[in-house]
Structure 1
Amino acid sequence: MNTKLRYLFVFVLALSVAIVGCQSTDDEPAPAEELAETVPAEEVAPAEEVEPVTLRFMFPEGAGRGPGFDSAIAAYEELNPHITIETESIPFGEYGGLLPVQFAGDSPADVALVDSSAVISYAYNGAIVALGDIFNQSDVDDFLPSLVDQSTYEGQMYGAPFFISTQGVFYNTDMFAAAGIDPPTSVEEAWTWPEFVENVSRVVESAESDDVWGLVFLSNPPGSISWSLPVIRSNGEPGSNTFMALSADGTEVSGYLDTPEAMEAYQFWQDLYVEHGLAPQGDVPDAFGNGQAATMISFSAWGSVLNNVFPDLNWDIMPIPYLETHIVHASHFMPTVAAKSDYQEEAKAFVQFLSSTEGFMAYYDVTSDMPARISLLNGLEEFQVRPLSIFKDELLTVAHAAPGGPGGAIYGDIVGSLLVDIAQGADIEAAVDAAVTELDAQLTQFK
């Protein structure tokens, strides 16, 4: 059965009317002619025109973000006709490398999405500005605490919680039915990674086509630690160095990324690509939507994309597998304001709108991403029932923030590249040793 996810969320806007009273005097009012002489028309100052402003907004392509932001921008520009928002949509696989180059240049985009695990790092380096008082306490209380923590540096928020992401496994229901495989339907029933490999291998073997992958990501292999690192962390017990993957002060990875449990998990990660051949070592565009992959790890908004672009595809969602400890990363991109922007106040106002209920719902009307506001997460019916309830249940039970801190951008870049290299067949011991050595050297600056 093809999953169709559309719900109507109705908002009622309250209108306030200000009534101004006039204070009378005992003096007889002057005739109209005298008033006209007293205040000549030509001396009344005309209403001041608002200077038009164009803001640049940069974000990574994919998962329906473009159409969603187009909808939110249209709503904002209608309320603020002097503001024009120009979007710069960057291919997902290129975004992480382009973002620091943009911030280092003389004219970065005024507003840019930054992964929540890297917000503090960019704040530390002065690339983005504190958002000041654009949020009141009721806003902060309504935001998911993990996102507030990931965006707060020295007591101020530098990123605006907008949406939240956990990871789920989209699967082709026709392929699984043909293989006689029943996937788990709740977080409590989640497969381990070995169980996933066994079952998905059977699905691939029974597929009508020989050109079917067992597993794909948005980019292959995934370059973001949001997707790959949970596999490694899941091989450690909660609170262990393997599970933490970074020291508490964010300045050391030796003894965290190279534990015996981590090394074992790296081998499993490589086997997915090399030994089992379940996942491609390069991108296969639209593999899941076109029936070339049995499963795809993505986030909730991908359901909207599948329904809109591949309406004949029958799909469902199961929870993320794990090795020893069930874990998913709870993070997402956050709107930020560039320190080099010439229109910081206007950019902050736009960011404030995006993170508001009205702004998010304008986006959500097109793309069903998970909201960063608790009130919306609990109020939107779509996330109370399957299949999207899987994401909410993961968020509330097994979700953790990705390792970050002041060196979060450096950490994410090096560890993300490490896991891509391992997936593509690199010598695991040599690659891990090189990454740990480089990271320890670079993170020393944050001690």
Structure 2
Amino acid sequence: MTINRRQVLLGGLGLGASAGLTACAGLTGKKSASDTPSSSGSGAALQGQLTFVNWSGDAEKKAFDAVIAAFQKANPGVTIKTDTVPYASIQTNLDSRFQAGNPPDLFRVSYIDIGQYTSQDVLLDVSSTFDAAKIDAFVPGLWEGIVYDGKPYGVPHQIDTTAILYRLDAFEAAGLTAPTSLEEAWTWEQFADASRKLAGVVKGKQLPFIYDWQSAGAYRWLSWLFQAGGNVLAEDLKTAAINSDAGRKALEFTQSFFTNNWVARNTSVKSATYPDAAFAGGTVAMAFAGDFLVPFIDDSVKKKFEYGSMPMPKDVTAASDLGGNAIVAAKDGKNTEAAAKFLEFLVSEEQQQTYCEATGELPTLKSLTTADLKFQTRPDLMRTFVEQATTITPEQVKQVTVPQFAKINAALQSELEKAFLGGASAEDTLTALATAVQKAGA
């Protein structure tokens, strides 16, 4: 059976970091400087074994295995042992290793969780590996995702972001023409008009759309806030800024999805009904979905219907969400020199291109954002996601990679559910969110 990445991410409890697993509370058993293992020594051939803890679906595992094999061939004295664990237990797994004084040399961490690690002085500072020229090779906003207090910890390996998949037959029946670029992206008013037209055509057979904010994805609601010109946090990245005119506009607009019956009630933020299954199953005309879901959706749809991709709607500006992951090294790993070398190898242009083409995920190197990547599944759709990713700004990256973001994400899940299904007003919801955000940053 093919396992798609959403199934991997939501395995077990299905709540990821937003469930507030441990908030990395177990990362306090750090070794003293005298206990830190030595590396192979500058200038010497790299030697030893590295452990790499991650979660991955089938395509990702094969891609990681290929990168590791290439690294080991280039560095024959080094071997890398991969330990694949479910995303739902990744923080518990890592906490136990850190507490035992035996952290993995390398591990994978989502951008929305990375702040919990960078803020606790347990990650390897890679400043000596990545000079200004190497840093400049990355998309600026994405490099910010691994920076804390001015220092880089790990590498931004890949990203995923949201765009819209739509059924051609539904659009034809509703008389709609899909925008083909960010410049042509629908405004919120145009999106609402399109949803009304789709509702009038599909009736009981389908609903106009599904949005991808389920479970640990509650933070994806922030795309609407950013599009309206708002922010979660003020410039100090601690003070709540969500209770604003932009916040009210975004919340009232997304509440209208439910009051107008454009989305199903069982697709709200605490739901277990996800965009890939709903779209492939034919219950929606449009799906806001991450690029990593395209291989699974395409395999499920097969020849049942034709579909295309188009950008997210925009208001004051265009915006989307920062999904994806960094790869980091433990500060007290057994071979930090080899670990840093692997991080550098992992984000070389050749290796990143090969990985992204195989997995349907998006690159973080500027050179690859404009390259003609040969995605293995539906490259015609992937162009939209590549373009959509350019709307992720450095300022927004900082907002979602702060140490307290897991708590903010949990608050979003709780309060948005009340607003969408529980009848809570926009005013009450924003007040509650502001209180929770302020408390998280205290």
TM-score bracket for the superposition, by shorter chain length: 0.7 to 0.9
Please state how far the C-alpha of 1:271 moved relative to its aligned partner. 2.9
Task: Tell me, in whole angstroms, the C-alpha distance in 2 between the residues paired with 1:166 and 1:420.
Answer: 22
SS at match of 2:172: helix
Kept in 1: contact 2:141–2:392 (CA 8 A):
no
Task: Tell me, in whole angstroms, the C-alpha distance in 2 between the residues paired with 1:325 and 1:301.
Answer: 24
Structure 2 CA distance for partners of 1:247 and 1:387, relative to 1, 3 Å? same
Kept in 2: contact 1:57–1:111 (CA 8 A):
yes
Task: Tell me, in whole angstroms, the C-alpha distance in 2 between the residues paired with 1:309 and 1:108.
Answer: 39
Among 194, 218, 235, the alignment partner of 2:228 is: 235
Please state how far the C-alpha of 1:158 moved relative to its aligned partner. 0.8
Write out aligned runs for 1:191-230 (5 A).
191-207=186-202, 210=204, 212-218=206-212, 220=214, 223-225=217-219, 227-230=220-223
Kept in 2: contact 1:111–1:347 (CA 8 A):
yes
Q: Which residue of 1 aligns with 2:355?
A: 363
Write out aligned runs for 1:242-261 (5 A).
243-253=230-240, 256-261=241-246
Tell me if 1:187 matches 2:182: yes
Kept in 1: contact 2:48–2:335 (CA 8 A):
no
Among 337, 360, 385, the alignment partner of 1:391 is: 385
Kept in 2: contact 1:59–1:88 (CA 8 A):
yes
Task: Tell me, in whole angstroms, the C-alpha distance in 1 between the residues paired with 2:335 and 2:306.
Answer: 46
Q: Which residue of 2 aligns with 1:41?
A: none
Kept in 2: contact 1:289–1:310 (CA 8 A):
yes
Deviations 1:84-124 (A, max 9, x none): 43242535xx4797688568754665433333355345312
Structure 2 CA distance for partners of 1:310 and 1:342, relative to 1, 3 Å? farther
Task: Tell me, in whole angstroms, the C-alpha distance in 2 between the residues paired with 1:96 and 1:252.
Answer: 29
Q: Which residue of 2 aligns with 1:425?
A: 422
Q: Which residue of 2 aligns with 1:23?
A: none
Among 117, 122, 138, the alignment partner of 1:122 is: 117
Structure 2 CA distance for partners of 1:359 and 1:202, relative to 1, 3 Å? same
Tell me if 1:311 matches 2:308: no
Q: Which amino acid aligns with 2:251?
A: Y
Among 253, 266, 279, the alignment partner of 1:268 is: 253
Q: Which amino acid aligns with 1:264?
A: K
Please state how far the C-alpha of 1:295 moved relative to its aligned partner. 1.7
What's the TM-score once normalised by structure 2's chain length? Answer: 0.73
Among 154, 170, 176, the alignment partner of 1:175 is: 170
Compare the two structures and name the one with the higher helix fraction.
2
Q: Which residue of 2 aligns with 1:328?
A: 320
Kept in 2: contact 1:75–1:362 (CA 8 A):
no
Q: Which residue of 1 aligns with 2:81?
A: 85
Tell me if 1:290 matches 2:275: no
Kept in 1: contact 2:154–2:326 (CA 8 A):
yes
Please state how far the C-alpha of 1:248 moved relative to its aligned partner. 0.4
Please state how far the C-alpha of 1:354 moved relative to its aligned partner. 1.8
SS at match of 2:233: coil
SS at match of 1:379: coil
Task: Tell me, in whole angstroms, the C-alpha distance in 2 between the residues paired with 1:335 and 1:217.
Answer: 28
Structure 2 CA distance for partners of 1:79 and 1:224, relative to 1, 3 Å? farther
Q: Which residue of 2 aligns with 1:40?
A: none
Structure 2 CA distance for partners of 1:328 and 1:189, relative to 1, 3 Å? same
Kept in 2: contact 1:55–1:110 (CA 8 A):
yes
Structure 2 portions without partners, runs of 5+: 1-43
Please state how far the C-alpha of 1:249 moved relative to its aligned partner. 0.9
Structure 1 stretch 298-307 or stretch 160-169: which is displaced more?
Answer: 298-307
What's the TM-score once normalised by structure 1's chain length? Answer: 0.72
SS at match of 1:119: helix
Task: Tell me, in whole angstroms, the C-alpha distance in 1 between the residues paired with 2:226 and 2:90.
Answer: 22
Structure 2 CA distance for partners of 1:49 and 1:373, relative to 1, 3 Å? closer
Write out aligned runs for 1:394-409 (5 A).
394-396=388-390, 399=393, 401-402=396-397, 403-404=399-400, 405-409=402-406
SS at match of 1:438: helix
Kept in 2: contact 1:269–1:422 (CA 8 A):
no
RMSD of aligned residue pairs (Cα, Å): 3.6
Structure 1 portions without partners, runs of 5+: 1-47, 237-242
Please state how far the C-alpha of 1:375 moved relative to its aligned partner. 1.4
Q: Paired residues, what number?
A: 383
Q: Which amino acid aligns with 1:439?
A: V
